[in-house]
């Protein structure tokens, strides 16, 4: 049973809300509304949509100024490495966000990749809530504190970890065996609002690895990461 209030979260992240309902909505997963139809309120997906755009703008502006000689393609890759699910899950953990989330009983018991996606999306929703309540500068300050100041961007650039797994596997496959990898959907599970895709990555007719995610792109990335390990590339 949760003992922490949404006001506690507001204090913890150092943001004073004029309308705390924005933050409460940001911490409400669709599954909770579906399971508690008489509870009132709404889920966080609209705020997530807004927060994603605000986050992208703030990070893009930061990178544009920090790397004046980098071209669009590299800057896009840097941004993707900063705002991906893994990074945002780390931010959620730093915020202690899991303690404030309203989810269905089933989702509350889940863990692993599915929970990471929920928490990463909730971080974006919180950013949307901060923007709606306090404006751009307040949201930008939050992003700087919890994201830009906690991720080693110089290491990402130096080690080229911004190159996504799918691109890396394709490059290695073409270099090593002269084959361009292909991806096929193996199955789709779950309700429409929370569908999980499982895809396989193939070299010719040989399946090298599989990956799962809440989008086909996410599943492809996971499959490529596993394929790199399988092949030792």
Confidence of residue 1 (pLDDT cuts 50, 70, 90): very low
Catalytic residue among 124, 133, 164, 225: 124
Confidence at residue 205, expressed as pLDDT on a 0 to 100 scale: 94
Pair 43, 145 in one domain: yes
Q: Is residue 123 part of a domain?
A: yes
Among 22-26, 76-80, 212-216, top mean pLDDT goes to: 22-26
Question: 222: domain range?
Answer: 165-231
Pair 134, 81 in one domain: yes
Averaged pLDDT of the chain? 88
Annotated active-site residue 52? The verdict is yes
Pair 32, 89 in one domain: yes
Q: Is residue 188 part of a domain?
A: yes
Pair 148, 169 in one domain: no
Of 159, 185, 200, the residue that ends a domain is: 159
Catalytic residue among 8, 35, 48, 52: 52
- Report CA dihedral (145, 146, 151, 154) to the nearest 10 degrees: -20
Percent of the chain with pLDDT over 90: 56
Q: How many separate domains does the chain show?
A: 2
Pair 62, 99 in one domain: yes
Q: Is residue 148 part of a domain?
A: yes
Look up the CATH number of the domain holding residue 170: 3.30.160.20
Pair 101, 178 in one domain: no
Q: What is the mean pLDDT of residues 60-74?
A: 92
Q: Is residue 1 part of a domain?
A: no
């Amino acid at each position: 049973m949760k003992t922490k209030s949404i006001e506690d979260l507001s204090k913890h992240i150092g943001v004073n809300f004029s309308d705390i309902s924005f933050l409460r909505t940001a911490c409400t997963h669709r599954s909770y509304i579906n399971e508690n139809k008489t509870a009132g309120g709404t889920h966080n997906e609209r705020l997530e949509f807004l927060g994603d755009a605000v986050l992208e703008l703030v990070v893009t502006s930061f990178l544009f100024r920090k790397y004046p000689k980098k071209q669009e393609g590299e800057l896009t890759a840097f941004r993707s490495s900063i705002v991906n699910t893994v990074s945002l899950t780390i931010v959620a953990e730093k915020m202690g966000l899991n303690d404030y989330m309203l989810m269905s009983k089933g989702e509350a018991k889940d863990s692993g990749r599915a929970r990471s996606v929920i928490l990463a999306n909730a971080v974006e929703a919180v950013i949307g809530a901060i923007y709606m309540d306090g404006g751009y500068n307040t949201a930008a300050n939050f992003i700087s504190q919890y994201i830009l100041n906690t991720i080693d961007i110089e290491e990402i650039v130096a080690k080229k970890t911004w190159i996504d797994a799918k691109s890396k596997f394709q490059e290695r496959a073409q270099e090593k065996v002269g084959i361009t990898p292909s991806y096929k959907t193996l199955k789709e599970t779950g309700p429409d609002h929370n569908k999980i895709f499982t895809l396989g990555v193939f070299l010719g007719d040989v399946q090298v690895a599989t990956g799962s995610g809440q989008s086909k792109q996410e599943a492809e990335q996971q499959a490529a990461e596993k394929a790199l390990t399988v092949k030792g590339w």
